[in-house]
Structure 1
Amino acid sequence: MSDVGFIGLGKMGRGMARRLIKAGLTVSVVAHRVRSAVDALVDEGAVQVSSKIQMVETCPTILTCVSDATAVETIAEEIVPFLGRQHMWIDATTSDPETSCIISQRLDKKALFGSDVVFPSNSWRRRGIGGA
């Protein structure tokens, strides 16, 4: 069993997964359109799983950081039916509020917990929005 399952190994996601591994957590990763991202993280200690469903079966925390709201919605359709009360889903995708609300409502119907996390960008900070 892994501590965290990570879906989305682009620039931002790969860095986040790498930090979790360096912090001593066991991180599962699933195939990505850029094979080298998975291979690099496996070389650093990540565990590769064969599917998102296998990830849900073996990880209590699922962290997503994918390209857009459509990708988050696709993942939700795939994994929400398999999530249980032992799971927590954290989405770090730069998405839109409507998609976050729709997914939150789906999770609420199953009495599950999910969180949409915002990481303010440097351009936000320059405009005085979010974070220090």
Structure 2
Amino acid sequence: MADLRVGFVGVGLMGHGMAKNIVEAGYSLSVLGHRNRTPVEDLTSRGAEEAADVAALATAADLVFLCLPGSPQVEATIETLLGSGFQGTVVDCSTSNPVSTRQLAARCQEVGVAFLDAPLSRTPKEAWAGTLDCMVGGSEADFARVRPVIDCWAGRILHVGEVGAGHTMKLLNNFLSLGYATLYSEALAIGAKNGVDAATFHEVISGGRMDCGFYQTFMAYVVGGDPEAHRFALTNAHKDMRYLVSLANESGIASHVSSAVKNGFAAADAQGRGADYLPTLYDFVQQMNGIGRDER
């Protein structure tokens, strides 16, 4: 498989580490130029080639990974790939809307291009270490063909079903984590208004049945003041919850809880906080409820 030519579109926070692990495993790697030159220059120093545009990448790769902000960017990239005569396999590692994913897969199938969705879980730290979690949707044959390359950057790989199942599972996973973030933020606000500060709240919850890894990451910002505790922007949380609610609506599911979670992130995003990281939802909810720092 090391003679397989790999292309990578989206060498940002997550994609940089993923692409680094691919090229270091001995694969021929082409990466698309990025406005942030640092990851591109790092990857080319490790042996990757830089493609001038998506059309050039289409001719230089048999397998193309996408790690993009969302479905609009994925759709545009795939249309350019197909319009450039690409005849290989596309693996979408973005967090995308499964409704769009299934449509893209059908579009690719019409022209003989294989398509899989393989979204990620964990952080840029694990991307760099090659220990991400990955949920793959696609046929057994397509999954078997691309798994050796995914093995370069993932420590836990689960084949969760046909195309679209990976993105569905990713949204469900994010719904749980973003729902927790919403619950923590509101619980902390109620506590602050009633004489229970964040440090006391944390002392009670830590080590109990409601403790978990995500809780500890969230509270590393709230009580520990670590601004890098969870590097996931509020605008991305808003986008993922929009996709989740859209999927629920498409499925005929009453979305009482997911819509409420989505609206919380929509409000933070609308107030200009979209670039802030996820645990800062705590600050937004505190301020929205008129809670000063001396009450927290």
Task: Mark yes or no: TM-score above 0.5.
Answer: yes
AA at the equivalent of 1:14: H
Task: Report percent identity of matched pairs.
Answer: 25
Q: Which residue of 1 aligns with 2:69?
A: 67
Structure 1 runs of 4+ aligned residues shifted over 4 Å read: none
Map residues 34-113 of structure 1 onto 2, 5 A cutoff: 34-85=36-87, 87-113=88-114
Higher share of residues assigned helix: 2
Structure 1 residue 105 displacement after superposition: 1.4
SS at match of 1:73: helix
Structure 1 residue 83 displacement after superposition: 3.9
SS at match of 1:38: helix
Distance in structure 1 (CA, Å) of the matches to 2:69 and 2:27: 24
Structure 1 residue 50 displacement after superposition: 1.2
SS at match of 2:120: coil
Structure 1 residue 100 displacement after superposition: 0.4
> Do the aligned residues in 2 keep the contact of 1:2 with 1:28 (CA within 8 Å)?
no
AA at the equivalent of 1:74: A
SS at match of 1:9: coil
1:20 aligns with 2:22: yes
TM-score (norm 2): 0.39
Structure 1 residue 2 displacement after superposition: 6.9
Which of 20, 30, 33 aligns to 1:31? It is 33
Structure 1 residue 40 displacement after superposition: 1.2
113 and 71 in structure 1: CA distance in 2 versus 1, 3 angstrom threshold:
same
Query: Structure 1: which 5+ residue stretches go unaligned?
Result: 128-132
Structure 1 residue 27 displacement after superposition: 0.8
AA at the equivalent of 2:21: R
SS at match of 1:105: helix
Query: Structure 2: which 5+ residue stretches go unaligned?
Result: 124-172, 177-296
Q: Which has the larger radius of gyration?
A: 2
113 and 37 in structure 1: CA distance in 2 versus 1, 3 angstrom threshold:
same
SS at match of 1:19: helix
> Do the aligned residues in 2 keep the contact of 1:2 with 1:26 (CA within 8 Å)?
yes
Distance in structure 1 (CA, Å) of the matches to 2:29 and 2:117: 20
Distance in structure 2 (CA, Å) of the matches to 1:57 and 1:83: 8
Structure 1 residue 70 displacement after superposition: 1.1
Q: Which residue of 1 aligns with 2:118?
A: 117
> Do the aligned residues in 2 keep the contact of 1:6 with 1:62 (CA within 8 Å)?
yes
Q: Tell me the alpha carbon deviations over residues 4-26 of structure 1, each in whole angstroms, 9 at most, x when there is no partner.
A: 01000111111110010111111
SS at match of 2:7: strand
Structure 1 residue 84 displacement after superposition: 4.4
